[in-house]
Every structure is written in C-alpha cells, then in structure tokens.
Amino acid sequence: MEFPSFPQLLEHHWGTWVCQRTRFYLDGTPANHGKAQLQITGLAPASGLGMVFTWSENNRPVAVTTLTFDPDAQQFRQDNGTGASRTGYYTWNPAGVMELTLALASGQSVTERLWFASANLRLRTVLVRRDQGLESVAFYSDIRRVAAP
C-alpha cells in the first residue's frame, strides 16, 4: 500500500484491531502467545500529530498509550499516563512501513516495525535488545474490524 504523506500513513492505523502475538525469548524461556483488542484513534488537531492506543484483553481495558510525532526531528514521544514520557525515533516510507525505536530506562532498546499486508491486515515485529544482544522477538498480526454495510 502506498501513502504519499506521513499523516496519511498514521490515519490508516485508526480503527479497532484484533491482535494476535507470539513472543520468543532467546534465553530459553518458553514462547508466549496472546490476543488483544486494540483501538487506535488520532489526536485532536490542536494536540499535534499522533495516535492514542487503547488495549483490552478479555473485554477489560489494559493500557492506554499516546504517541505524538515531530516530523521535523523524526522523533516521537510516548506517554502511557504514568507521568514519565519517553522520546524515541521513527522512520517511515511511502510503501507504508514505519519503524519506531525507543530506549528504555532498564537499558533495553525496543524496535517495532509496522506495515500493511492489505488495507485491513497490519503486521508488526518487535525486537528487544540489551547491551549483550537480542533478548526477545515478537510477531503480531492485527486484523481490522470492519463494520457490516
């Protein structure tokens, strides 16, 4: 899918998604699997360019995270409501691939790559690294819920 502008790419993420995850640990810990519902909305225009993510599992809210993007610096700010926001970096291309990189206080680095296989199928990979190397990898497939006509 092609997106001529970054705001168009962000808008394509909006909606309700059913997410399935498999995470693999490189230290021998057994893989884990999960399922969630994700609601993605845009920020109010006065708040800037960004998205709000609301996760639910078993029909119960789990977390809310806001990402605000600064296109001039290719940075984003992540705020999960705890009062401590983090700043990361992002890249994107018109083919619809976005990559987010965030350094955590724990010393870990998280890189998430997102792309669309089709209009209503979003794929994601997440790599978690420490100084010693790769710690875990995860693969997500997200299917957009589409209302019946």
Torsion, Cα of 124, 130, 136, 141 (10° steps): -10
Average pLDDT per 10 consecutive residues for the chain, totaling 149 residues? 93 96 94 95 91 92 94 94 88 95 92 96 96 93 85
Query: So what's the pLDDT on residue 148?
Result: 62
| Cα distances (Å, whole numbers) of residue 42 to 17, 18, 67, 94 | 15, 18, 10, 19
Rg (CA), the chain: 16
Query: So what's the pLDDT on residue 149?
Result: 63
Query: So what's the pLDDT on residue 120?
Result: 96
Query: So what's the pLDDT on residue 147?
Result: 76
Query: So what's the pLDDT on residue 106?
Result: 87
Query: So what's the pLDDT on residue 146?
Result: 87
Is residue 85 within 8 A of residue 105, CB to CB? The reply is no
Phi, psi torsion values for 7, nearest 5 degrees:
-60, -35
Query: So what's the pLDDT on residue 38?
Result: 95
User: What residues contact residue 3 under an 8 Å CB cut-off, 6+ apart?
Assistant: 9, 12, 94, 95, 96
Whole-prediction pTM:
0.91
Q: Quote the longest CA-to-CA distance of the chain.
A: 52
C-alpha to C-alpha distance for 99 and 75, rounded to whole angstroms: 11
**Nearest CA-CA partner of 76 in 114, 128, 38, 122:** 114
Query: So what's the pLDDT on residue 44?
Result: 87
User: What residues contact residue 11 under an 8 Å CB cut-off, 6+ apart?
Assistant: 42
Query: So what's the pLDDT on residue 121?
Result: 97
Is residue 122 within 8 A of residue 106, CB to CB? The reply is no
Q: Could you give the domains of the chain?
A: 6-144 (2.40.128.20)
